[in-house]
Amino acid sequence: MFKNFKTVAYAEAYSLLALFFIAMPLKYFAGLPLAVRIVGMVHGLLFMMYIYWAIQLSVKHKWPASKLVWICAISSIPFGPFLFEKKLFAEDLKLN
């Protein structure tokens, strides 16, 4: 389960970076709003998958609600999943 979540988390994080640093500049500096539509849709789908897997892990490992909220909040920070992954899951990964 952690492997699936980690895969989705990284994909979601990369899509957020692509949205901020590729699609949005293309929209505002090159006049290509389609880039934001496409990357934004992919990012939205990945974000929903991220939330789904976070809830699944939360239920399975009986996390407190605060940890789930923190994990969801981190996904909206560029580089967040990359920076906080080991800290968030250190104790859970020892159990698996």
Domains of the chain: which residue ranges? 2-95
Please report the sign of the dihedral spanned by the C-alpha atoms of residue 24, residue 25, residue 28, residue 34.
negative
Position 53 confidence tier, pLDDT thresholds 50, 70, 90? very high
pLDDT at 72: 87
| Cα of 30 vs its chain's centroid, Å | 27
Instruction: Report the mean per-residue pLDDT for the chain.
Output: 87
Which of helix, strand or coil describes residue 40? helix
Q: Which amino acid is at 88?
A: L
Q: Is 79 left (phi over 0), alpha (psi -120 to 50) or beta?
A: left
Does this model's pTM top 0.85? no
| pLDDT top residue among 83 and 59 | 59
**Residue 25: Cβ within 10 Å count:** 13
Name which residue leads in pLDDT, 75 or 19: 19
Report residue 5's pLDDT band, with 50, 70 and 90 as the boundaries: confident
Task: Please state, in angstroms and rounded to a whole number, the distance separating the CA atoms of residues 65 and 23.
Answer: 34
Evaluate whether 72 touches 66 at the Cβ level (below 8 Å): no
**pLDDT of res. 82:** 78
Q: What is the mean pLDDT of residues 83-88?
A: 73
